[in-house]
């Protein structure tokens, strides 16, 4: 029985993933309705923020009456009125006899209350099916609801010896086309992509999503002294929100040189640099639930040092630069011994056409 539940839960997770980039700040949720012989009757997913939740879509999509059937979903059904009615009410009204779920909802408005309501209605509830996989799918939502902070991932592309550029800093292609496609999937997944004024000046990136059917993330530029050129690619008016995070000391006159669609956020300083903790809180208050950091070694180091980064995704090309003066993907710790390293937990590796993706979680 458990094996069959796990098989169906994987279908839920697969359905949910199709909505990456479309449901934030809501979670990714997929749902399947099936009969006693484990034949799938209907499927549903939360397709877009503000629209029907997965359970409602699965019930409404069913070609037959779902009374007496079972429902499996990766996240506890909601029991409160939001932009849509409570899913628990519809599940009860429809006559579903059994609900299987992967994890409880971390949202304090739900957090076990949905399960309690279903049980009180006489519905059998089974929990914890593929719980780790369900947690991983909604890691962003979980952090948002439990810590009121955005989920932050550092993305780097380097040689085997950790170099992102030669000693001159001149931008050069490191990884291949397969890696390029994966990066644009990440930009579609995260709410925002963040970089530094140094990267804007040296590389003039666009920071857009060029995958088919993808959407551009919000662009965030950390520019303490407002030195980035106003005609930089990141400031193109393509309908995407753009933020510049700068020092609280910059003059209003200096701010006027940027296009009207660019919003400038003044932030306090810490040791002559933008206070990252304050900046991250301000961005979260503006609805930024997840951030992909695409920058140089100094900014990467700052996010790690302030213990703000949750994850590291490193694209590694099978190349060796072997130059001590070349630029590293993390710069400035100057550890004297290996024992003093920042330790991470390896989560996964993926071999692409020529490169390797290494995913690690920061240990906090």
Ordered by start, the domain boundaries in the chain are 2-138, 149-217+275-362
| pLDDT computed for residue 235 by the predictor | 97
For range 11-30, the mean pLDDT: 95
pLDDT tens digits for range 185-200: 999 999 999 999 999 9
* pLDDT of residue 242 exceeding 70: yes
- For residues 303 and 172, the model is more confident at 303
CB atoms within 10 A of CB 359: 16
| pLDDT computed for residue 80 by the predictor | 67
Q: Alpha carbon 116 to chain centroid distance? A: 30
| pLDDT computed for residue 177 by the predictor | 93
| pLDDT computed for residue 42 by the predictor | 97
Asked which of 101-115, 176-190, 282-296 is least confident by mean pLDDT, the reply is 101-115
For range 88-112, the mean pLDDT: 92
Q: What separation in angstroms does the CA of 195 have from each of 95, 175, 299? A: 51, 19, 8
Percent of the chain with pLDDT over 70: 99
Q: How far apart (Å, rounded) are the C-alpha atoms in residues 353 and 87?
A: 43
Where do we find the tokens 């029991």?
Answer: 79
| Active-site residue (options: 47, 55, 311, 336) | 55
Q: How far apart (Å, rounded) are the C-alpha atoms in residues 54 and 74?
A: 10
| pLDDT computed for residue 81 by the predictor | 65
| pLDDT computed for residue 93 by the predictor | 92
For range 112-126, the mean pLDDT: 93
Asked which of 36-40, 64-68, 104-108, 262-266 is least confident by mean pLDDT, the reply is 104-108
Q: Which CATH superfamily is 2-138 part of?
A: Cytidine Deaminase, domain 2 (3.40.140.10)
Q: How does residue 83 score in pLDDT terms, banded at 50, 70 and 90? A: low
Helix boundaries (H) for the chain: 2-17, 54-61, 87-94, 113-120, 131-137, 139-147, 177-189, 197-203, 252-255, 276-285, 297-305
- For residues 98 and 254, the model is more confident at 98
pTM of the model: 0.93
Class of domain 149-217+275-362: alpha beta
pLDDT tens digits for range 331-341: 988 888 999 88
For range 279-300, the mean pLDDT: 97
Q: How does residue 172 score in pLDDT terms, banded at 50, 70 and 90? A: confident
* pLDDT of residue 224 exceeding 80: yes
Q: Output helix, strand, coil percentages for the chain, rounded to the nearest 5.
A: 30, 25, 45
pLDDT tens digits for range 52-73: 999 999 999 999 999 999 999 9
Is the Cα torsion angle 283, 358, 136, 66 positive or negative in sign? Answer: positive
- Farthest CA pair distance, the chain: 70
Q: Is 124 part of the annotated catalytic residue set? A: no
**Mean of the per-residue pLDDT values for the chain?**
94
Q: Answer whether 327's CB lies under 8 Å from 297's CB.
A: yes
Give which of 76, 71, 61, 81 is closest to 29, Cα–Cα.
Answer: 76
């Amino acid at each position: 029985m458990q094996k069959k539940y796990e098989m169906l839960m994987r279908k839920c997770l697969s359905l949910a993933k199709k909505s990456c980039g479309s449901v934030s700040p809501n979670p990714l949720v997929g749902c399947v309705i099936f009969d006693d012989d484990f034949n799938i009757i209907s499927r549903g997913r939360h397709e877009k923020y503000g629209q029907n939740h997965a359970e409602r879509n699965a019930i409404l999509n069913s070609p037959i009456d779902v009374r007496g059937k079972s429902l499996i979903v990766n996240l506890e059904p909601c029991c409160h009125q939001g932009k849509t009615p409570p899913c628990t009410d519809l599940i009860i009204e429809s006559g579903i006899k059994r609900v299987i779920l992967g994890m409880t909802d971390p949202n304090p408005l739900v957090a076990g209350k949905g399960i309690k309501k279903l049980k009180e209605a006489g519905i059998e509830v089974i929990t914890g099916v593929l719980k780790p996989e369900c947690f991983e799918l909604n890691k962003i939502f979980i952090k948002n609801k439990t810590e009121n902070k955005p989920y932050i991932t550092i993305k780097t592309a380097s040689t085997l010896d950790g170099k992102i550029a030669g000693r001159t800093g001149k931008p050069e292609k490191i990884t291949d086309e397969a890696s390029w496609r994966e990066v644009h999937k990440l930009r579609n997944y995260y709410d925002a992509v963040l970089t530094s004024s140094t990267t804007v000046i040296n590389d003039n990136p666009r920071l857009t999503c060029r995958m088919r059917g993808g959407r551009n993330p919000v662009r965030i530029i950390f520019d303490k002294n407002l030195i980035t050129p106003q005609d930089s690619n990141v400031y193109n008016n393509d309908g995407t929100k753009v933020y510049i995070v700068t020092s609280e000391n910059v003059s209003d006159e200096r701010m006027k040189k940027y296009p009207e669609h660019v919003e400038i956020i003044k932030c306090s300083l810490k040791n002559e640099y933008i206070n990252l903790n304050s900046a991250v809180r301000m961005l979260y208050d503006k609805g930024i639930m997840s951030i992909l950091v695409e920058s140089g070694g100094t900014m990467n180091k700052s996010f790690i040092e302030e213990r703000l980064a949750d994850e590291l995704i490193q694209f590694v090309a099978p190349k060796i630069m072997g130059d001590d003066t070349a630029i590293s993907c993390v710069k400035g710790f100057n550890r004297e011994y290996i024992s003093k390293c920042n330790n991470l937990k390896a989560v996964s590796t993926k071999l692409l056409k020529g490169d390797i993706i290494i995913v690690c979680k920061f240990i906090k």
